[in-house]
Structure 1
Amino acid sequence: MDKKQMPVEVKLVTEIRDQEDKAITVIEETGDFTQNGNIAVVRFTEHQEEQADVNALITISHDKVSIKRTGAVNMLQKFKENQRTENVYRHEFGTINMETHTDQINYQQPIDENPGELFISYTTKLNGEGNRKHRLTLTFKEVSP
């Protein structure tokens, strides 16, 4: 398969449920998408008002997804369906150990005018305490020239 690269508009929606509380975060940025064989990469920078920028690199392959964030926070979170992974989340207030159990990963690559979409449903346990349910939806479409 040929290598494909294009500028994209990115929308990342994360939903976190912690017992009765629910928090939704929406990030909209421009970035770029690269498809090289069976590996897709979405790259963008989160511009935040009250802290330094965060660079995001999302790598999608046929059986796993990894999200690397650098800048104001540093982490490398890996997702494999029906598996538990561990990572360390570093930010200005300290370090958090995170366990992730991935329930579901759905990915639709961008085709013609249809946007790409990544959906991940997972549970995290922070510093060994309590489970938090997460839903992450990433949509991206080519920037019109």
Structure 2
Amino acid sequence: MNKSSVSIKMTMEIRDHSDKDVNVVETTGQLMEKEDKAVLRFSETNENKDQTDSLITIQSDKVSIKRSGAVSMLQQLQRKQTTENVYRHQFGTMHMETWTDQIIYQPPVEKKKGKLFISYQTSLNGQDPRRHRLTIEVKKED
């Protein structure tokens, strides 16, 4: 397994009818690569200085996002399938139902950035689904 230090730029875009919310996180982490899968590990700190650790496992047709700390969840995203999980944070627990439209992953090669793009719809506690677009850019550090 190849292990690299990486810089990460994660952009989350959420659309709710005419509203659009964009959140960008820039951090560093580790990328571990095998021939059929990649694992991205990093931590982020929110405005209250609470830390969330993320472990993202990327395979050709599915992505698993495990978060622990200030936010806790294990989200499985499978192309053209509905998945369910529980999202826990400081304000309580929510049931999530997710339909994944698209998963595109291009691993970083030499000096070129890699990119994970996921397009999906999520419904929280049975509410109307909102469109999500998650883009994670990964650049290997020298």
Shorter-chain TM-score: which interval? over 0.9
Residue in structure 2 matched with residue 71 of structure 1 by the alignment: 69
The CA RMSD over aligned residues, in Å, is: 0.9
TM, length-normalised to structure 1:
0.95
| CA–CA separation in structure 1 for the residues paired with 2:17 and 2:109 | 38
Residue in structure 2 matched with residue 55 of structure 1 by the alignment: 53
Residue in structure 2 matched with residue 111 of structure 1 by the alignment: 109
Structure 1 unaligned spans of 5+: none
Q: Taking every aligned residue pair, what percent have the same amino acid on both sides? A: 51
Aligned length: 142
Residue in structure 1 matched with residue 82 of structure 2 by the alignment: 84
Q: CA deviation at 1:51?
A: 4.1
| CA–CA separation in structure 1 for the residues paired with 2:49 and 2:90 | 9
Match of 1:102 among 89, 97, 100: 100
| CA–CA separation in structure 2 for the residues paired with 1:48 and 1:115 | 25
TM, length-normalised to structure 2:
0.97
SS of residue paired to 2:131: strand
Contact 1:51 1:72 in 2 (8 A): no
Contact 1:10 1:139 in 2 (8 A): yes
Residue in structure 2 matched with residue 29 of structure 1 by the alignment: 27
